[in-house]
Every structure is written in structure tokens, then in C-alpha cells.
């Protein structure tokens, strides 16, 4: 959410930003919030003036009563009654205006970073850099669920009977591999200096409103019926929510945290054949990283975060590339975002396995995350997040890139301690 003062003083900048994100239907909101802001300030001015007058009259009444002028005091009291009615009327209108203003302000997208390429959707994202040599072996690589089935590692039919489409049973060595990747990711991030956290897996609506846009919430979140609780779609939601309504001493920044959680997502809409199996599912696990820092430090931490993911995948011998997300592909709260994509030898192309985002002060403004500077003045923190790894989708890249000609799965050296020293997985 933007600062209303910024919108008031820079309406053309806000309008151009909306155009850059190809959301022209939101352009009328700029004039609407400016008008609501004007009315809100006028109401506050009148309320202040009336309250001052009411206080002045109250003193006058006290003076008259002290002088024994009871009849005159009673006449003055009638004026106070008139003020009271107007004060109540203004207070009621103030609540309506402020609620409407906040609702509209939360729909206006954040100002994107000048470095963000302008484009309509993810087809116009820009490749930045590749890491590792993408290889296509001279033997056929089956679809990922077929590879898993060879090892007795997945049962989608049973999951469908138990929970419906979009769920899975992982079993045996494949399930162990899934857990090993997460354990390795935990230790990898701790080794990078991040504090390990297991957060709540449900959050209240106040946190949901603070961490994401309305459109994202509708497309992602599962609501707990009869409770003010939502299942998290990523631990970022719970982790950023940890700082709601807090004032952080500047010397404690930055907070660099890495969190494990299950994630639950609606995943609305139809998806193509390449998104079957365990690619797009309603439940998965993830190792996340978040940073809360001073505004001037967020560009530096943005680079640190995405490089962590690249380094993690490279230790598992998986080639990756980074893509700069264009303006139309950015969620409304994001200032800048970069996707990490892993190489798929079967498809002979890359696919997304993680996303790194700088949200500026948008989440901090919504959640009231403030920093007390050395000058004792408060300012808004910046928040960032990034995926370290999210199996089982990551397992697709792992299995395809480590599949051997004889059908076995090679276990990279970094992962072997988490697999009981196994160097490969073979059919049993």
C-alpha cells in the first residue's frame, strides 16, 4: 500500500505506474482516493475546530457557574448540545470515509523499481543469467511421475480417493529424498547465517490483508470455516506477520530468517499437461527465507536472497537460470521480483522453482512494522522473501537431472549425509 501523501503529491506517477502494469481499469482509483483523502482531512479539521470550541464553551460554563450565573450557563449548555450532534455526525462519516479510502488504497499497486522491464505478462520476462550447463542426455527421460513409480515412490490414485485431485502420497526412497532435500535446505540456510524458524501454519485475516493483495488471497488462500484463520500459502505470510504492530530498534536489523512449513493453495484454473503430477498441487512443503531490513539495504539483500537459491540448486548439480519479472507479472505489492528456473532435460527448457521478491515498505505499511532510528524517529521497514526450495516440484528437476542411463538416480555428494550415505537410488 502506498503512502497517501505520495499519491496526493504524485498522482501522475501513480497513474503511469498503473499503466506500466497494464491495469488501466484501476486508473479511476487515483482520483477517487484523492477526493476521499481531501474529504477525510476536511472532516478532521472540522472535528478539531468543533472540539476546540466545545472545550472553550465548557470552560465558559464553568466560569459562569462559579459566578453564580446559572441561567446564563444553561443557555450556553444548549450550544454544547448542538455541537455534540455535529461531532457524532462527523465521527460516523469519518469512519466510512477512512474505510473506503483504505480499501481503495490497498488495490492501487506498489511503485515498481525503475529497473523492472515493462511487459504484459510472464511471456515478456527477461533472462538475466544462466548457471551450469543444461544437458540433454542421449537416453529418453520419462515424465516425473513415471520415474517415481519405478521406485514405488508415488500413489496419486489413492490420494485422489482420499483428498481429490492435487494431492499425492510419496513413499519409500522418493519420500526419503523429499525429506532429505528439506533437511539439507534447512542446514544450507543456517550455514548462510539465517535463523531457523518453524512458524504457525495458520494466520488471521489481519495478517492476510497485510501480506498480499485481494486478488492473490482469492486465488490462493483456504479459509477455516467459522474461524478468523487461513491456511498459509507460504511461510512468508506467517513470518512477515510475526512483526505486525511492532517497533524494531534499528540496531537489531536486519532480521534474516529461514522457515520451514507446509503450504496450502487453491491453485485455481485449468493447467496443461506439463503441470500434472506433483507440479501444481494443493499441498507441499517449502524452505523459505525472509529479510526485514532498513530501506537502503533492501537492494543488497535482494541479490543475496536469489543467489542463495542459485547456489543451493548448483550444489545438487541442477542447472538454473534467473529471469527478471516484467511489470505485468509483478504482484501488486512487489517492487521487484526475480524467478529462479531449473533446467528440465525432458522438456528441453527451464521451469520455475523459486521466486525472489522485494516488497519495499508495502507489507510494513499494512502491518505497522516500524523501525526506531538512532534519532528516535520511526520509519517503515522493508521486507523481502525468497524460496530456497519447494519440493515436491523441485523433485522434478532433481530426478530429471540426476537420472542415469541404467534407470538409477544419482545422489549428489551434498545430499548423501541426509540419505544415510546412499550414492544412488535403484529400483527394488
The reply to whether 280 belongs to the active site is: yes
Residue in 184, 173, 176, 108 with CA at minimum distance from that of residue 147: 173
Report d(CA 313, CA 332) in Å as an integer: 28
Q: Are strands 255-264 and 382-389 parallel, antiparallel or unpaired?
A: unpaired
Give pLDDT tens digits for 149-193: 999 999 999 999 999 988 999 999 999 999 999 999 999 999 999
Average confidence (pLDDT) over 75-92: 78
Q: Which of 204, 280, 294, 410 is catalytic?
A: 280
Residue 324: phi and psi, rounded to 5, are -80, 120
Residue 229: partners with Cβ closer than 8 Å, 6 or more residues away: 202, 203, 204, 223
Query: Whole-prediction pTM value?
Result: 0.89
Q: In Å, how far from its chain's centre is CA 290? A: 10
For residue 407, is pLDDT > 70?
Answer: yes
H helices of 106-151, in order, are 144-150
Q: Which domains does the chain have, with CATH numbers?
A: 4-105 (1.10.287.40), 122-425 (3.30.930.10)
Report d(CA 331, CA 213) in Å as an integer: 8
Give pLDDT tens digits for 220-236: 899 999 999 999 999 99
pLDDT band at 270 (very low <50, low <70, confident <90, very high): very low
Report d(CA 301, CA 320) in Å as an integer: 20
Residue 43: partners with Cβ closer than 8 Å, 6 or more residues away: 90, 93, 94, 97
Residue in 261, 167, 262, 267 with CA at minimum distance from that of residue 220: 267
pLDDT of 9 reads 97
Average confidence (pLDDT) over 379-383: 98
Give pLDDT tens digits for 19-66: 999 999 999 999 999 999 999 999 999 998 888 877 777 777 777 777
pLDDT of 274 reads 54
Q: Are strands 320-324 and 283-293 parallel, antiparallel or unpaired?
A: unpaired
pLDDT band at 144 (very low <50, low <70, confident <90, very high): very high
Q: Are strands 169-170 and 195-197 parallel, antiparallel or unpaired?
A: unpaired
Report d(CA 359, CA 369) in Å as an integer: 13
- What is the DSSP secondary structure assignment for residue 154, as one 8-state letter? E
pLDDT of 372 reads 97
More confident residue, 183 or 392: 183
For residue 77, is pLDDT > 90?
Answer: no
pLDDT of 272 reads 55
For residue 335, is pLDDT > 90?
Answer: yes
Q: Where are the beta strands (DSSP E) in 326-376?
A: 336-344, 349-358, 369-372
For residue 267, is pLDDT > 80?
Answer: no
Count of Cβ atoms closer than 10 Å to residue 290 Cβ: 27
Q: Which of 60, 149, 352, 424 is catalytic?
A: 352
pLDDT of 279 reads 82
What's the chain's average pLDDT? 93
Residue the block writes with cell 527478471: 324
Please give the share of the chain, as a percent, with pLDDT higher than 70: 96
For residue 72, is pLDDT > 60?
Answer: yes
Q: Which of 15, 150, 365, 393 is catalytic?
A: 393
Q: Which of 265, 321, 365, 366 is catalytic?
A: 265
Q: Which of 285, 355, 357, 400 is catalytic?
A: 355
The reply to whether 46 belongs to the active site is: no
The reply to whether 352 belongs to the active site is: yes
Q: Which of 102-106, 194-198, 224-228, 270-274 is the least confident region?
A: 270-274
Contact 318, 397 (CB under 8 A): yes
More confident residue, 75 or 196: 196
Average confidence (pLDDT) over 92-98: 95
Report d(CA 61, CA 378) in Å as an integer: 41
Residue 283: phi and psi, rounded to 5, are -140, 130
Residue in 340, 395, 377, 327 with CA at minimum distance from that of residue 125: 327
pLDDT band at 369 (very low <50, low <70, confident <90, very high): very high
Q: How far apart are the first and last CA of the chain?
A: 55
pLDDT of 209 reads 92
Whole-number Cα distances in Å, 171 to 147, 157, 186, 284, 285? 13, 13, 21, 15, 15
- The grid coordinates of residue 192 equal 548462510
Find the radius of gyration of the CA atoms of the chain: 28
Residue 371: partners with Cβ closer than 8 Å, 6 or more residues away: 247, 248, 249, 250, 253, 294, 378, 379, 380, 381
Segment 377-383 long-range contacts (CB within 8 Å, at least 24 positions apart): 378/247, 379/295, 380/295, 381/243, 381/248, 381/253, 381/292, 381/293, 381/294, 381/295, 382/292, 382/293, 382/294, 382/295, 382/297, 382/298, 382/358, 383/240, 383/290, 383/291, 383/292, 383/359
Contact 323, 276 (CB under 8 A): no
Amino acid at each position: 500500500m502506498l503512502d497517501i501523501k505520495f499519491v496526493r503529491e504524485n498522482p501522475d506517477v501513480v497513474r503511469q505506474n498503473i499503466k506500466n502494469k497494464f491495469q488501466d481499469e484501476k486508473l479511476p482509483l487515483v482520483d477517487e482516493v484523492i477526493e476521499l483523502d481531501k474529504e477525510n482531512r476536511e472532516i478532521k479539521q472540522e472535528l478539531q475546530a468543533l472540539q476546540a470550541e466545545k472545550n472553550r464553551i465548557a470552560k465558559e460554563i464553568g466560569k459562569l457557574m462559579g459566578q453564580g450565573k446559572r441561567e446564563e450557563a444553561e443557555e450556553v449548555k444548549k450550544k454544547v448540545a448542538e455541537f455534540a450532534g455535529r461531532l457524532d455526525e462527523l465521527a460516523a462519516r469519518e469512519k466510512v470515509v477512512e474505510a473506503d479510502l483504505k480499501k481503495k488504497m490497498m488495490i492501487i499497486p506498489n511503485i515498481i523499481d525503475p529497473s523492472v522491464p515493462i511487459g504484459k505478462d510472464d511471456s515478456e520476462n527477461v533472462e538475466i543469467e544462466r548457471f551450469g550447463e543444461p544437458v540433454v542426455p542421449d537416453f529418453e527421460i520419462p515424465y516425473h511421475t513415471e520415474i517415481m513409480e519405478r521406485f514405488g515412490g508415488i500413489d496419486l490414485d489413492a490420494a485422489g480417493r482420499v483428498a481429490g485431485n492435487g494431492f499425492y502420497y510419496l513413499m519409500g526412497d522418493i519420500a526419503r529424498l523429499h525429506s532429505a532435500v528439506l533437511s539439507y535446505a534447512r542446514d544450507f540456510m543456517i550455514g548462510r547465517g539465517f535463523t531457523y524458524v518453524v512458524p504457525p501454519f495458520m494466520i488471521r485475516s489481519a495478517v492476510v490483508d497485510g501480506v498480499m493483495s485481494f486478488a492473490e488471497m482469492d486465488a490462493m488462500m483456504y479459509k477455516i470455516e467459522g474461524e478468523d484463520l487461513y491456511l498459509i500459502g507460504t511461510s512468508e505470510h506467517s513470518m512477515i506477520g510475526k512483526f505486525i504492530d511492532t517497533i524494531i530498534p534499528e540496531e537489531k536489523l536486519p532480521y534474516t530468517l529461514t522457515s520451514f512449513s507446509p503450504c496450502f493453495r487453491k491453485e485455481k484454473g485449468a493447467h496443461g499437461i506439463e503441470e500434472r503430477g506433483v507440479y501444481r498441487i494443493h499441498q507441499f512443503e517449502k524452505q523459505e527465507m525472509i529479510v526485514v531490513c532498513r530501506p537502503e539495504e533492501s537492494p543488497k539483500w535482494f541479490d543475496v536472497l536469489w543467489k542463495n537459491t542459485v547456489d543451493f540448486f548448483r550444489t545438487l548439480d541442477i542447472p538454473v537460470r534467473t529471469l527478471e519479472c516484467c511489470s505485468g507479472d509483478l504482484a501488486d505489492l512487489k517492487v521487484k521480483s526475480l524467478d529462479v528456473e531449473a533446467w528440465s532435460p525432458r522438456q528441453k527448457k527451464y521451469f520455475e522453482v523459486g521466486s525472489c521478491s522485494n516488497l519495499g515498505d508495502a507489507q510494513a505499511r499494512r502491518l505497522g512494522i516500524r523501525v526506531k532510528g538512532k534519532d528516535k524517529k520511526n520509519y517503515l521497514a522493508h521486507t523481502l522473501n525468497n524460496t530456497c526450495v519447494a519440493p515436491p516440484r523441485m523433485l522434478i528437476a532433481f530426478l530429471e537431472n540426476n537420472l542415469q542411463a541404467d534407470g538409477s538416480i544419482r545422489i549428489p555428494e551434498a545430499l548423501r549425509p541426509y540419505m544415510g550415505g546412499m550414492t544412488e537410488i535403484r529400483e527394488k
